[in-house]
Amino acid sequence: QVQLVESGGGLVQPGGSLKLSCAASRSILSIYVMGWYRQAPGKQRELVATITSGGSTTYADSVKGRFTISRDNAKNTMDLQMNNLKPEDTAVYYCNAPLSWDNIWGQGTQVTVSS
């Protein structure tokens, strides 16, 4: 089994930056794809970005050019660098690791973009 713990959320002004981190309790080398999701109040959880073990990435259209996902298989971490943040980016952000026998989620970290 693997546990995921997010960190790095907070309050930031529009146009600002935050970096989220997801730490895994064991090696992530064998986890083919990992991702970041977010859920705003009253809305469904949505996919933000994914990254494979080889480094291939995908992004939601709403964050392309502003967010960058990365992972360090040696450190068992996955990051999300968020730049030029907008109020509509306000949400709880979750890291995710879909395994063949389970779908693992972190506890989430709150990101609030407000002046």
- 4-55: pLDDT as tens digits: 999 999 999 999 999 999 999 999 988 999 999 999 999 999 999 999 999 9
Over residues 92-108, the mean pLDDT reads 95
Tokens in use for 85? 């943040």
* pLDDT (average), residues 89-112: 96
Give residue 1's pLDDT: 83
At residue 65, the pLDDT reads 98
Is pLDDT above 90 for 112? Answer: yes
